[in-house]
Copies of this chain bind each other. A is one copy, B any other.
Amino acid sequence: MSLPAAPGLTGPLVTPERLGEFFAPRSIAVVGASDTSGWARFVAASAAATGFRGPLIPVHPAHRTVFGRPAIPSLRDLDEPVDLAFIMAPADAVESVLDDAGAAGVRGAIVLASGYREAGDDGRLREERLAARAAEHGIVLLGPNCLGFVNAHARAAPFALTVPQPLIAGPVGIALQSGALASVVLAFARSRAIGVSTLATMGNEAMIGTIDMIEYLVRDERTRAICLFLEQISHPARFALSAEEASSAGKPIVALKVGSSPAGQRAALAHTGSVAGDDAVVDAAFRQLNVIRVASIEELLSTAALLGCNRWPRGRRMGVLTASGGACDIVADRASAQGIEIPAFAPRTEAEIATHMPPFAAVRNPLDVTGYFLANQRTSALTVIDRALDAAVADPGLDFVLFAGMTLPDTRPRDETLAALIDERIAWLGERIATAPIPVIPLAMTCVDVTPYARDLLGKRGLHLLGGIELGITALGHALRWLEARAAGGEGRPAVVSANGRPGGPAGWPAGPWSETAARALLARHGVPVVPAELADCADAAVRAARRLGLPVALKICSAQITHKSDIGGVLLGLATDAQVRDGFERVRAVGQAVPGARIDGVLVTPMRTDGVELLAGARLDPAFGPVLVVGLGGVWVELLNDTSLRLLPADAGQVRRMLGELRGAPLLTGTRDTRPADLGALADVISKLGAAAISLGGALRALEVNPLWVHGDQIEALDVLVITGHEGETRTERTR
């Protein structure tokens, strides 16, 4: 499958094929390298740390040798082109270095310098020039303002930070929108012996973007799971496509997306803005795209390692084997919090395990094999817990086994007999786990470094140890949800409509709130049933309308300039007689006329609706992901509980139906004694049409909100409608990092 290229001038250059070449350079030039440059020393050390086998050529106009290697004055002095130039020159000099690189036939470049987009408008122009210049020369460029990358399989690390040693080559690919975090990520990966394929620091993404990196990692055979540190998602539509591709390829994306601390309220006139804040939209979008969202670096890598290093469970029924009753209790608590089941062992499993256990010990799931086996000197390779594993993997009632029995001494025992027994045991475990009918997930009891002894011993047998009960079970919860969503096929990829990328809706929308009549008309045009209403311009007309519509009625001042109608007394409910309507009309009009600058369209007369359930249904334009639909029960359910469900638009009736099911208050729609159960199919259809109405406003959508949307059995009506539009481009400016 081929994907649309990145937008802009430089798009066609960056393809997964070119990136495959870019991330596996056979020769590297370090431009601006000097003995006193900290950066250059890092790059030289990284090359050594990863065992880089190609030439690493210092380029500096003023030095003959740099870190003991002969230097050349310019890239133009290369005898033959290098695959990659790591450019450490100051921002002012980078473009001319690119010219040199182009002339020398260099095909890839990393730019370290800052002073680009993150430095304001001048910097932005400089960044555009940089990308254009690289494209002119056919050079693929990472950065600027980045620290390079590490490719453990290709043993290439043009990387201006320390590479913690040893770097283990493995299945986890990593893209980071923060360069300095790379050393933290690699430090944790090293400590837990998590193997890395390619890690890249993305910098300003002038040419190679995070999404390009995802597409490269999806195609990279060595990568089986993808970790992202995200500060922003620039092209949500492409992000959605690449996430879908990753899921199809069976490569989970695990993302640490920052920005969950509450930012400013947007579109504060509507509830929709406060309950569908940017971060809630990210949550919803990631769920729709089956991207695993995590809260910490440790969770990021542990989850990716779990999915990248182990066979995948088919279900939630977990066997647990430990040598500690306390650990069983902690595992049970954590598993319960993640909805992971710990069913009883089958009788046959229990009987088989019992033959290996001390007589006083209870045989049950979770299993504590007790410390009994420690009482005597060790004479055989396998211990009780290994026998228990052998039995448990054959249990037909289990989907996988969590095996907390891989504890090893800190170092290889000096007693060779013992050391040999351990070697034999781990070999047996590696083989048993590889051939077991169900996956076995080895778990360390706590999150401490895997010792070099354990790393070598386990690594040789393809065994990976999850880092502790807490991180391990959290990762398992993520993994199981990801697998389930993948198996269910999801709701179909959302057709992300970007706020930025969109050509814009019909011109001429007003900037600000609409009058209610206009808003009602918009909804009606899209097939959303709206409560009958008549606009009255005098008390007599109001009375006539009330009689036609049926008493009692509600009166509402109608003016685009008045949004908080109830707060100023612009809404009256339950007027049951002509006199009340007449009197009410005058009061409501007076209230409206007292608002400075308000143009009064009239007073809207609508019949009262009682019983039934009131919902909130709305949409707003997210600056990254485009239009977003919000559904919730009305009143306290939104105000106090924030009990809402979000989806990227468009959302069909089936998706809306699932949204309704996700509400904590869902039983109120179906289950109470007092009200008729809502026709959920009809309701979902109406809300889906409301979504279409919102989409029709294009990039001008600020908020479209029905509150309440009244539901009584199969009667559904929008009782109050608010539409706010704004000028295109009124979205946030991009963040710098």
A residues adjacent to B (C-beta < 8 A): 36-39, 42, 114-115, 118-119, 147, 160-162, 164-165, 176-181, 184-185, 187-188, 190-191, 229, 231, 256, 258-262, 295-299, 323-327, 329-330, 332-337, 360, 368, 370-371, 374-378, 409-410, 445-449, 468-470, 636, 639-641, 664-665, 667-668, 737
A737–B448 touching, CB < 8 Å: no
Set B184, B378, B445, B446: member contacting A445, Cβ < 8 A: B184
- Which of B180, B326, B409 is in CB contact (< 8 Å) with A231? B326
**Are B178 and A333 closer than 8 Å at their CB atoms?**
no
Chain B proximity of A413: nearest CB distance (Å)? 12
Q: Are B296 and A330 in touch, CB under 8 angstroms?
A: yes
Let me know if B165 and A260 touch, CB within 8 A: no
Question: CA of A469 to CA of B376 in the docked complex: distance in angstroms?
Answer: 42
- Once the chains are docked, how many angstroms separate the CA of A181 from the CA of B375? 17
Contact indicator B147/A371 (Cβ below 8 Å) = yes
Contacts of A377 in B (CB 8 A): 36, 38
- Cα distance A378–B37 in the bound complex, in angstroms: 10
B-chain residues with CB within 8 Å of residue A258 when the two chains form the complex: 326, 329-330, 332-333
Residues of chain B lying within 8 A (CB to CB) of residue A187:
445-446, 448
Given contacts A36-B376, A329-B259, A449-B191, contact A178 B295 (CB under 8 A): no
Q: List 6 A-B contacts (CB under 8 A).
A: A36-B376, A39-B374, A176-B326, A180-B326, A184-B324, A258-B330
Measured CA separation A119–B359 after assembly (Å): 10
The distance from the CB of A354 to the nearest CB of chain B, in whole angstroms, is 16
By a CB distance below 8 angstroms, the chain B residues around A229 are 326
Q: How far is the CA of A295 from the CA of B331 in the complex (A)?
A: 10
Among residues of B, the one whose C-beta sits closest to the C-beta of A118 is B360
A470/B324 contact (C-beta < 8 A), A37-B375, A641-B664 known? no
A160 / chain B contacts, CB cutoff of 8 Å: 374
CB neighbours of A36 from chain B (8 A): 376-377
The residue in chain B whose Cβ has the minimal distance to the Cβ of A229 is B326
Pair B323/A180 contact, Cβ less than 8 Å: yes
Query: A448–B336 contact, CB under 8 A?
Result: no
Residues of B within 8 A of A296 (CB): 330, 334, 468-470
Please tell me if the beta carbons of B371 and A179 are within 8 angstroms of each other in the complex. Answer: yes
The minimal Cβ–Cβ distance linking A648 to chain B, given in whole angstroms, is 22
Q: Pick the residue among B448, B470, B640 that contacts A191 (CB under 8 A).
A: B448
Flag if A470 contacts B261 (CB, 8 Å). Answer: no
The answer to whether A295 and B334 touch across the interface, beta carbons within 8 angstroms, is yes
In the complex, are the beta carbons of B334 and A42 less than 8 A apart? no
* Complex contacts, A256 vs chain B, CB 8 Å: 330
Looking across the interface, which residue of chain B has its beta carbon closest to that of A407?
B183
Q: Which 5 A-B pairs have the closest CB atoms?
A: A178-B326, A261-B336, A180-B324, A296-B470, A258-B329
Chain B minimum-CB-distance residue to A178:
B326
Nearest opposing residue in chain B for A332, CB measure: B261
Enumerate chain B residues within 8 angstroms of A330, measured Cβ to Cβ. 256, 258, 296-297
Q: Name 18 extra pairs, CB < 8 A, besides A36-B376, A38-B376, A161-B374.
A: A37-B375, A38-B378, A115-B360, A162-B409, A165-B410, A178-B324, A178-B325, A180-B326, A181-B326, A191-B449, A231-B325, A261-B333, A295-B334, A297-B469, A298-B470, A299-B470, A325-B737, A641-B664
A259 partner residues in chain B, CB cutoff 8 A:
329, 333
Of B376, B449, B737, the contact of A37 (CB 8 Å cutoff): B376
| Nearest B residue to A279, CB-CB | B333
Contacting A119 at CB < 8 Å: which of B184, B231, B360?
B360
Q: Which of A259, A335, A360 is most buried by chain B, counting CB atoms within 10 A of its CB?
A: A360
Q: Give Cα A464 to B324, complex, Å.
A: 29
Indicate if the CB atoms of A295 and B470 lie closer than 8 Å. yes
- Measured between beta carbons, the chain B residues less than 8 angstroms from A468 are 296-298
Q: Tell me which of B39, B165, B297, B323 contacts A446 (CB under 8 A).
A: B297
Chain B residues with CB under 8 A of A667: 636, 639-640
Chain B residue with Cβ nearest A261: B336
Residues of B within 8 A of A371 (CB): 147, 161, 179-180
- Cross-chain contact of A38 among B298, B332, B375 (Cβ < 8 A): B375
**Cross-chain contact B446 with A449 (CB below 8 angstroms):** no
A445: B residues at CB distance < 8 A: 184, 187, 297
Instruction: Kindly list chain B residues whose C-beta atoms are within 8 Å of the C-beta of A469.
Output: 296-297
